[in-house]
Amino acid sequence: MRRVVVARHRVNHLIRVPEVRVIGPEGEQLGILKTSDALRRALEAECDLVEVAGNSSPPVCRIMDYGKFKYEQSKKEHKIRQHQKSTQVKEIKLRPRTDRHDLQTKIRQIVGFLEEGSKTKVTVMFRGREMANRSLGLTAMGRVREKIEEAGTVELEPRMEGRNLYMIVAPKT
């Protein structure tokens, strides 16, 4: 599978309109020029003619060093991506007959996940004849809900999916 690279800006001879509004290398307005004249000016300045606003009429082009411009754009995008925080969904699995102490340990883990800002999926897994006692799973979910009230809120109420009962808990903002 090949990735197709899409150019964001038209550069030099890829600009196909007859007239463009030109901004000089220092940011000064040069006015509306024929594309051929604008290209000639860009070549005289040893720069590129880059279309920065193709939707306007006439399109706005700037005389600049395109390689430097692309480098600065990639640096900006990298900085933006670096500061984004992705929310993860962690999962804690329980059994309907999980002991009280083990349940407390799982609840501490859930609270820890919520405090670090991650959503948490709490799953109660049923095996074999445990499906007949679904109320035990709902009781375990109720205990979890009570204990994590300070740290998070239930985003998705408990529901059955196959042999699993699950709910999703989100951190309080």
Could you give all domains of the chain from N- to C-terminal order, each with its CATH number? 12-81 (3.10.20.80), 89-171 (3.30.110.10)
Can you spell out the DSSP letters for 60-106? EEEEE-HHHHHHHHHHHHHHHHHH--PPPEEEEEE-TT--HHHHHHH
- Average pLDDT of the chain is 88
33 close to 41: Cβ distance less than 8 angstroms: yes
CA dist 132 → 97, 127, 137 (Å): 13, 10, 11
**Residues ≥6 apart with Cβ < 8 Å to 89:** 118, 119, 120, 121, 168
Instruction: List residues bridging with 167 in a β-sheet.
Output: 122
Residue 106: its pLDDT value, please?
A: 95
Looking at residues 13-29, what average pLDDT do you find?
87
Instruction: Classify residue 50 as exposed, middle or buried by CB count within 10 Å of its CB (0-12, 13-18, 19+).
Output: buried
Residue 141: its pLDDT value, please?
A: 92
Q: What is the identity of the amino acid at 107?
A: I
Q: What is the pLDDT of residues 112-150, one digit of tens each?
A: 999 988 899 999 999 989 889 889 999 999 999 999 999
Q: What is the pLDDT of residues 24-73, one digit of tens each?
A: 888 888 888 898 888 998 888 888 888 888 788 888 999 999 888 889 88
Of 88 and 38, the one with more pLDDT:
38
